[in-house]
C-alpha cells in the first residue's frame, strides 16, 4: 500500500499515533504544483495523485483547478504552477508572443472521437449546413474544427451563422432549437448526441491535419515551467514516470479508471467511460515519436492555420518549445 504525506498525517491524527516519520521519512518529498480541471487531458495527473503513483516517486502534487487553458497558462507564466496539461491553442498564442517560460515535455493522449459537430433533425449532413446557425465556444478547439470544416466545404460566414455559445449552454441551446448544430467536447458532446434527432456530422478525425499528423484542432500537451525544470530535472523525470503509469492505467483498465475519475468529473459513469475510451492514451514509449516526429510538424501546420483564421498574429517555431530530455 502506498500513500502520500498528507494522507499519512491524516491517519496518524485519526489513530492518535505519534511518530517522527513525517519529519524524517518524508523529508525529501518534492511538492509539484499542477494546473488541472475536469477535462480528460488531466486524468493522468489526477489518477497518479490519487493512486499513489506520485508518492512512490517521492512527489506530492498540489492540484489547482482552472476553468480555461488560458488561465492555466497564465499561472504557469507567473510561476504559480509548475506543471500543467493545456490545449495547444493557448500555448501557441503565448509562443506567438515570444513567451519562453515553458516547455512541452509530453503528449498524454489524442481525443479525436470525443469532440465534434452535431446537427439537429434538420441537419443530417455537412451539406445541410448552408443557411444554418452553428453554436460553438469561440477561441476553442471546437471553434477551429468548425472553421476548418467550413473551409473544406467551401462555406463562408455569409453561408453559415457561427454563434459564440459557452460550452455548458450548448446542450440547452440545441434542445431549444436556438441553433441548428453545435460543436462541443465531452461531456457536452455526449449530452447533445443523446438528444432526439441528433446526428454526428463530423468529429475531430475529420480535421485537415488528423490523417497526416494525428493532430486534432486543439491537442493536449503537458508543459513544465522552464525555471522549475532547470532547477529540478530529476523531479520532472520522476513525475513523468508516475504520469505515464497513469496513462497506461487509463489505456489498459478503462473501466476501473473511469470509476476512480467520477470524484473529479461528477458525470454519469457511462459518459465517463465513453470519455476514457474515446481517447488514445500514450505511454512513455510513445513519447519519442510524438515529440520528435510528424506530430510536432502537425502542430507547426496548426499554428500556421491559426494565423490564416486570424486566431493568432504569427506562427511560432513550435519545436523551439519542445524538450524531450525528461523522457
Domains in the chain, start-ordered, CATH in brackets?
5-110+219-321 (3.40.190.10), 115-213 (3.40.190.10)
Q: What is the pLDDT of residues 78-99, one digit of tens each?
A: 999 999 999 999 999 999 999 9
What percent of the chain is modeled with pLDDT above 70? 92
Question: What is residue 7's predicted lDDT score, i.e. its pLDDT?
Answer: 53
Q: Which of 32, 91, 125 is nearest to 326 (CA)?
A: 32
- Under the banding of pLDDT at 50, 70 and 90, the label for residue 140 is confident
Question: What is residue 8's predicted lDDT score, i.e. its pLDDT?
Answer: 43
To the nearest 10 degrees (0 to 180), the angle between helices 254-265 and 269-277 is 120
Q: What is the pLDDT of residues 280-294, one digit of tens each?
A: 999 999 999 999 999
Name the 3-class secondary structure at 36.
strand
- Under the banding of pLDDT at 50, 70 and 90, the label for residue 27 is low
Which runs of E-coded beta strand occur in 39-172?
A: 59-65, 83-87, 102-106, 109-110, 115-119, 133-136, 161-164
Residue 281's H or E segment, with its range, is strand 280-281
| Residues 240, 284 contacting (CB under 8 angstroms) | yes
310-323 in b/e form (b: 16+ CB < 10 A) is: ebbeebbebeebbb
Distance between CA 271 and CA 246 in Å, rounded?
Answer: 20
34 beta partners: 63, 83
Residue 178's H or E segment, with its range, is none
pTM: 0.84
Q: Before 187, cis peptide (omega within 30)?
A: yes
Question: What is residue 25's predicted lDDT score, i.e. its pLDDT?
Answer: 38
Question: What is residue 15's predicted lDDT score, i.e. its pLDDT?
Answer: 42
217-256 in b/e form (b: 16+ CB < 10 A) is: bbbbbbbbbeebbeebeebbebbbbbbbbbbbbbbeebee
Query: Quick one: three-class SS letters along 180-227?
Result: CEEEEECCHHHHHHCCCCCEEEEEHHHCCCHHHHCCCCCCEEEEEEHH
- Under the banding of pLDDT at 50, 70 and 90, the label for residue 2 is very low
The dihedral through the CA atoms of 247, 251, 253, 254 has a sign that is: positive
Distance between CA 194 and CA 191 in Å, rounded?
Answer: 5
Cell 467536447, residue? 185
What's the average model confidence in pLDDT over 258-268? 94
Residues ≥6 apart with Cβ < 8 Å to 233: 325, 326
Q: Which of 301, 295, 298 is nearest to 315 (CA)?
A: 301
What's the average model confidence in pLDDT over 47-68? 96
Q: What is the pLDDT of residues 187-212, one digit of tens each?
A: 889 889 999 999 999 999 999 999 98
pLDDT for residue 10 is more than 50: no
Residue 319's H or E segment, with its range, is none
Amino acid at each position: 500500500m502506498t500513500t502520500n504525506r498528507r494522507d499519512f498525517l491524516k491517519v496518524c491524527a485519526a489513530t492518535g499515533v505519534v511518530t517522527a516519520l513525517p519529519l524524517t521519512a518524508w523529508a525529501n518529498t518534492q511538492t509539484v504544483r499542477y494546473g488541472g480541471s475536469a477535462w480528460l487531458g488531466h486524468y493522468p495527473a489526477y489518477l497518479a495523485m490519487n493512486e499513489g503513483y506520485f508518492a512512490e516517486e517521492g512527489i506530492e502534487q498540489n492540484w489547482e483547478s482552472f476553468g480555461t487553458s488560458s488561465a492555466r497558462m497564465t499561472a504557469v507564466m507567473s510561476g504559480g504552477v509548475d506543471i500543467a496539461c493545456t490545449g495547444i491553442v493557448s500555448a501557441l498564442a503565448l509562443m506567438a508572443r515570444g513567451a519562453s517560460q515553458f516547455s512541452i515535455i509530453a503528449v498524454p493522449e489524442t481525443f479525436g472521437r470525443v469532440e465534434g459537430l452535431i446537427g439537429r433533425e434538420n441537419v443530417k449532413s455537412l451539406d445541410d449546413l448552408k443557411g444554418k446557425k452553428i453554436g460553438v465556444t469561440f477561441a476553442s478547439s471546437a471553434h477551429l474544427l468548425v472553421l476548418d470544416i467550413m473551409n473544406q466545404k467551401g462555406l463562408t460566414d455569409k453561408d453559415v451563422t457561427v454563434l459564440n455559445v459557452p460550452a455548458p449552454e450548448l446542450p440547452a441551446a440545441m434542445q431549444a432549437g436556438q441553433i441548428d448544430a453545435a460543436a462541443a467536447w465531452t461531456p457536452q458532446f455526449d449530452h447533445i448526441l443523446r438528444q432526439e434527432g441528433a446526428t454526428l456530422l463530423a468529429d475531430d478525425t475529420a480535421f485537415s491535419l488528423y490523417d497526416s499528423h494525428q493532430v486534432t484542432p486543439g491537442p493536449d500537451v503537458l508543459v513544465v515551467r522552464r525555471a522549475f525544470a532547470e532547477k529540478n530535472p530529476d523531479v520532472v523525470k520522476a513525475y513523468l514516470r508516475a504520469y505515464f503509469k497513469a496513462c497506461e492505467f487509463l489505456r489498459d483498465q478503462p473501466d476501473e479508471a473511469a470509476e476512480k475519475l467520477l470524484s473529479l468529473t461528477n458525470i454519469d459513469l457511462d459518459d465517463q467511460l465513453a470519455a476514457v475510451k474515446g481517447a488514445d492514451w500514450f505511454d512513455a514509449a510513445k513519447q519519442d515519436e510524438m515529440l520528435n516526429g510528424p506530430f510536432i510538424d502537425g502542430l507547426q501546420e496548426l499554428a500556421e492555420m491559426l494565423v490564416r483564421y486570424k486566431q493568432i498574429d504569427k506562427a511560432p517555431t513550435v519545436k523551439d518549445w519542445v524538450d524531450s530530455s525528461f523522457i
